[in-house]
A and B are shown apart, each in its own frame.
Chain A
Amino acid sequence: MSNEKTGLSKFWSEFTENKIALISLLIFLFIVFVAIFAPIISPTDPYDLSKVSIMDSRLPPLSENFAGQTFVLGSDGAGRDMLSAIFYGLRVSLGVGVMSGIFALIIGTFFGISAAFFGGKYETFIMRVVDIQLSFPSILMALIILAAFGKGVEKTIIALVLVQWAYYARTARATALVERSKEYVEAAHCLALGNKKIMFKHILPNCMPPLIVVGTLQTAHAISLEATLSFLGLGLPITEPSLGLLIGNGFEYMHTGDFWISIFPGVALLITIVSINLVGDHLRDMFNPRLKR
């Protein structure tokens, strides 16, 4: 136990050496906080129809609404406070991104590790599928799935999972191949442990570092992809206003110069993606043995 603790604190001190990564992590944690507590900390409830007034539509930032509240980031075409809409939008965007990331991680890791463990035709087949899938750009795969099956929350998550699982599978297999030939796996075999136990209790924990790196970068990618799809009107329905949808709503008013309606949700999206990417980048450098001093 104490050994694990020193491992963790060593990891932490190594992580905090990079100030940019640390700041990014703090920003990301703040965003997660905002997303979770959006209903409590939002100045107004943007989706409570009794409180939203069309009289307040398209107010510029820092102006007061009819009821005397200040809309720090202005309001959108329906008279919603942009700041509150962004808080709620972060909730949806992060939720969908993280959820799809977790499912993709589980599915991809399962196929990746089992492919490395069993080898043979099964491995060839799985890796062929992975190769073929990775040869198509993710937006195209998502487009095919959503165009064929229609839009919706579950369908968007399914599309994101189908797009991403292959990245996890490739990473999990590559790491598991190295782990499989190590002595502790041989020892586990000698103890006549079951295949399932060896794969998931012994090999899996040792495959986690690279999977976490892929996980952070892929989650950022998923959030960006979901925003793109929702912006195009193919991803989430209007009842689940993610950041992409908010930006799409503001796009109508772009040509009249009401910039704040799509710029601010975009800034929130950008900060989210950049902070996750910077944390992921640093984690990758930390786990990369070639860059170890």
Chain B
Amino acid sequence: MTAFLLKRSTQSLLVLFIMSLLVFSGVNLVGDPVEMLINPEADQEDVERVIRELGLDRPITEQYWFFLVNAFKGDLGTSFVFGEPALKLIIQRMPATLELAFFSLFISIIFALPLGIYAGLKPESKISKLIMAGSILGFSMPTFWVGIIFIMIFAVHLGWLPSTGRGEIGTFMGIHSSLFTLDGLSHIFLPALNLALFKLSSIVRLTRAGTREIIHQDYIKFARAKGLSENRVINTHLLKNILIPIVTVVGLEFGSLIAFSTVTETIFAWPGMGKLIIDSIYNLDRPVIVAYLMIIVFFFVFLNLIVDILYTILDPRVRIQGSK
């Protein structure tokens, strides 16, 4: 286990290093770093000062070293547009994104599990076929277009739900979130559903496949033979066993929810990290772009590491292989 942890952590560090190299070279070698990192409105004196400060007059290897050292200190530059440290801006917007991602994860699970189990138990019924057709559609529909349709139907035509912003933010046990006020909930519903749709379709398919496989296992037959009610067979024996692969996938895919939230946040003007990066790209706010990319890469590497470790804890087979 220790060997595995060590090996896996080293690999994570290596990935971080390579990604930082990629981002760094993207900003510094392809474009003109002076033009990219210094506010275009700065005067000549300022430009020279910043060039010295950032070490842009040094050789390229030394510059990369500077970039790494600054990144470790948590200094990823200052936004041109907001005039605040890029890191601070991103951290300020992180809760909104996490809240959206968690809520849409919640939506996809509570809808997908019953639908998937039903489709798995009665694969030949009309409703099951409808569910599966729907999941193909949910898979194929581009997230951004679904978002537009949602706005058109629920916000413009029916006028039921608001389509922009985060709404009123409530506080509960020291946590600020839109989930604690009715107004906030009405604001989060459409974007969360939009973000959830893709995940929902994939969890439905996974659940169905799992159900169809497990329903023929001996322990299910035994549970039925014992005379347990169908409800109890499904709720305890079946559900517990299909949950293992689903939890893994959901954990792994949480990151992709964060990544796809850039699209949803832009459409619904949700004030999270994703909207910030897209706005920054429009405004050529390069320090924020670099900072976002570094943070998101760090986040992903960390997430993958956690999932891998959890996996070894949950599944003994992996543990044995890893320690060899």
| Chain A residues in the interface with B (C-beta under 8 A) | 128, 132, 135-137, 139-140, 143-145, 147-150, 220, 224, 227-228, 231-234, 244, 247, 250-251, 254-255, 257, 259, 262-263, 266, 269-270, 273-274, 277-278, 281
| Cβ of B139 under 8 Å from chain A | yes
A-B contact pairs, 15 of them (CB 8 A): A137-B259, A137-B260, A148-B22, A150-B31, A227-B145, A231-B263, A247-B145, A251-B148, A254-B148, A255-B151, A263-B148, A266-B145, A273-B140, A274-B136, A278-B136
Structural contact, A137 and B293, CB atoms closer than 8 A:
no
Structural contact, B30 and A149, CB atoms closer than 8 A:
yes
| Cβ of B15 under 8 Å from chain A | yes
Structural contact, B263 and A139, CB atoms closer than 8 A:
yes
| Distance of A220 Cα from B157 Cα, bound (Å) | 31
| Cβ of B134 under 8 Å from chain A | no
Q: Give chain B residues whose Cβ lies under 8 Å from the Cβ of A135.
A: 300, 304
Structural contact, A234 and B143, CB atoms closer than 8 A:
no
| Cβ of B182 under 8 Å from chain A | no
Structural contact, B152 and A143, CB atoms closer than 8 A:
no
Structural contact, B27 and A148, CB atoms closer than 8 A:
yes
- Which B248-270 residues sit within 8 Å CB-CB of chain A? 255-256, 259-260, 262-263, 266-267
Structural contact, A277 and B140, CB atoms closer than 8 A:
yes
Q: Give chain A residues whose Cβ lies under 8 Å from the Cβ of B145.
A: 227, 247, 262, 266, 269-270
| Distance of A250 Cα from B278 Cα, bound (Å) | 19
- Extra inter-chain contacts (15) besides given A227-B145, A251-B148, CB under 8 Å: A137-B256, A137-B260, A140-B259, A150-B30, A224-B142, A227-B142, A227-B144, A228-B144, A244-B144, A254-B156, A255-B163, A262-B148, A263-B148, A270-B140, A270-B141
Structural contact, B289 and A147, CB atoms closer than 8 A:
yes
| Distance of A190 Cα from B304 Cα, bound (Å) | 45
Q: Could you tell me the distance in whole angstroms from the C-beta of B67 to the nearest C-beta in chain A?
A: 14
Q: Give chain A residues whose Cβ lies under 8 Å from the Cβ of B151.
A: 254-255
| Cβ of B277 under 8 Å from chain A | yes
Decide: A148 near B259, CB < 8 A? Known: A140-B300, A228-B142, A270-B141: no
Q: Could you tell me the distance in whole angstroms from the C-beta of B293 to the nearest C-beta in chain A?
A: 6
Structural contact, B136 and A277, CB atoms closer than 8 A:
yes
| Distance of A231 Cα from B262 Cα, bound (Å) | 12
Structural contact, B26 and A140, CB atoms closer than 8 A:
no
| Chain B residues in the interface with A (C-beta under 8 A) | 11, 15, 19, 22-23, 26-27, 30-31, 136-137, 139-145, 148-149, 151-152, 155-157, 163, 255-256, 259-260, 262-263, 266-267, 277-278, 281-282, 289, 293, 296-297, 300, 304
Residue of A220, A227, A232, A274 near B262 (CB, 8 A) is A232
| Distance of A227 Cα from B281 Cα, bound (Å) | 17
Residue of B nearest to A250 (CB): B148
Q: Could you tell me the distance in whole angstroms from the C-beta of B7 to the nearest C-beta in chain A?
A: 12
| Distance of A281 Cα from B132 Cα, bound (Å) | 13
Structural contact, A228 and B143, CB atoms closer than 8 A:
yes
Residue of B nearest to A143 (CB): B262
SS of B interface (majority): helix
Q: Give chain A residues whose Cβ lies under 8 Å from the Cβ of B15.
A: 132
| Distance of A139 Cα from B263 Cα, bound (Å) | 10
| Distance of A251 Cα from B277 Cα, bound (Å) | 20
Q: Give chain B residues whose Cβ lies under 8 Å from the Cβ of A281.
A: 136
Q: Could you tell me the distance in whole angstroms from the C-beta of B17 to the nearest C-beta in chain A?
A: 12
Residue of B11, B152, B155, B263 near A259 (CB, 8 A) is B152
Structural contact, B144 and A148, CB atoms closer than 8 A:
no
Structural contact, A269 and B142, CB atoms closer than 8 A:
yes
Residue of A140, A231, A257 near B156 (CB, 8 A) is A257
Q: Give chain B residues whose Cβ lies under 8 Å from the Cβ of A269.
A: 142, 145
Decide: A233 near B296, CB < 8 A? Known: A228-B144, A254-B148, A262-B148: no
Structural contact, B148 and A144, CB atoms closer than 8 A:
no
Q: Could you tell me the distance in whole angstroms from the C-beta of B150 to the nearest C-beta in chain A?
A: 11
Q: Give chain A residues whose Cβ lies under 8 Å from the Cβ of B155.
A: 255
Pick the most buried of A148, A257, A274, A278: most chain B CB atoms within 10 A of its CB: A148
Q: Could you tell me the distance in whole angstroms from the C-beta of B156 to the nearest C-beta in chain A?
A: 6
Decide: A144 near B152, CB < 8 A? Known: A132-B15, A228-B142, A277-B136: no
Q: Give chain A residues whose Cβ lies under 8 Å from the Cβ of B262.
A: 139, 143, 232
Cβ-closest 9 pairs across A and B: A148-B26, A137-B256, A140-B259, A266-B145, A137-B259, A273-B140, A274-B140, A224-B142, A231-B144
Residue of A148, A231, A234 near B30 (CB, 8 A) is A148
Q: Could you tell me the distance in whole angstroms from the C-beta of A42 to the nearest C-beta in chain B?
A: 22
| Distance of A277 Cα from B15 Cα, bound (Å) | 33
Structural contact, B152 and A254, CB atoms closer than 8 A:
yes
